[in-house]
């Protein structure tokens, strides 16, 4: 593997792996005792969650075929909708709860933030599954059995859909998304901008 491909693989894996490590500290429930950790963790995540989508886009960057367009669109939907979840249910709900006196029942305003954040997160996680599945199937067509490493990303996306980044399954899931994406970048054909379509210019 060339140094350039190795660097690309590491950069593609990094967002998911970082989120997986951060997820180990994700509180299981939002309470007055966990609220500060809840919203501060999501502030940090706001700058990393979209990068997992950017990493998937990087696998098809420069292409104009239908599969590449769908990967970019699905990754964009994930990045946008999951960031909305992060802002609403993570930062917003956590910050409001943190400002309440200890022992105060959860107000309707916090429940309303979850009511809009949760379905947006659902849309984002489904889009993440679609994006990881598309890049894996596309890679299988191009590099054969080596693309099986992409199944790690698909499995990870399913776990994120079910468990967000709550430990242990959700945090493991987003880490698998990162590892699978990085490994797909690593099995790129040497000497090409992978994946590539059409004759060389």
The tens-digit pLDDT sequence of the chain (201 residues) is 566 888 999 999 999 999 999 999 999 999 999 999 999 999 999 999 999 999 999 999 999 999 999 999 999 999 999 999 999 999 999 999 999 987 788 888 899 999 999 999 999 999 999 999 999 999 999 999 999 999 999 999 999 999 999 999 999 999 999 999 999 999 976 543 444 444 443
In a domain, 197, yes or no: no
Any domain includes 23: yes
What is the model's pTM? 0.91
Q: Is 128 left (phi over 0), alpha (psi -120 to 50) or beta?
A: alpha
| Contact indicator for 36, 98 with CB cutoff of 8 Å | yes
* Tally of structural domains, the chain: 1
Helix segments in 32-145, DSSP class H = 35-46, 49-58, 66-85, 93-99, 108-143
| Residue 112 lies in domain | 3-186
The DSSP symbol for 146 reads G
| Closest C-alpha to 164, from 150, 151, 179, 177 | 177
């Amino acid at each position: 593997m060339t140094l350039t491909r190795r660097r690309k693989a590491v950069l593609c894996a990094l967002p998911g792996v970082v989120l997986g490590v951060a997820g180990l500290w994700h509180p299981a429930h939002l309470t007055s005792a966990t609220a500060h950790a809840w919203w501060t963790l999501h502030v940090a995540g706001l700058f990393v969650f979209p990068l997992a989508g950017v990493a998937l886009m990087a696998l098809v960057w420069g292409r104009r075929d239908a599969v590449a367009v769908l990967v970019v669109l699905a990754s964009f939907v994930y990045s946008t909708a999951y960031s909305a979840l992060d802002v609403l249910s993570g930062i917003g709900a956590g910050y409001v709860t943190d400002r309440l006196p200890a022992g105060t029942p959860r107000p309707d305003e916090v429940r309303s933030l979850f009511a809009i954040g949760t379905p947006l997160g659902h849309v984002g996680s489904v889009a993440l599954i679609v994006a990881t599945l598309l890049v894996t199937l596309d890679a299988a067509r191009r590099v054969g059995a080596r693309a099986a490493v992409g199944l790690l990303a698909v499995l990870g996306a399913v776990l994120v859909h079910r468990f967000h980044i709550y430990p242990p399954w959700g945090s493991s899931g987003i880490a698998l998304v990162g590892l699978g994406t990085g490994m797909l970048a690593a099995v790129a054909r040497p000497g090409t901008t992978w994946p590539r379509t059409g004759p060389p210019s």
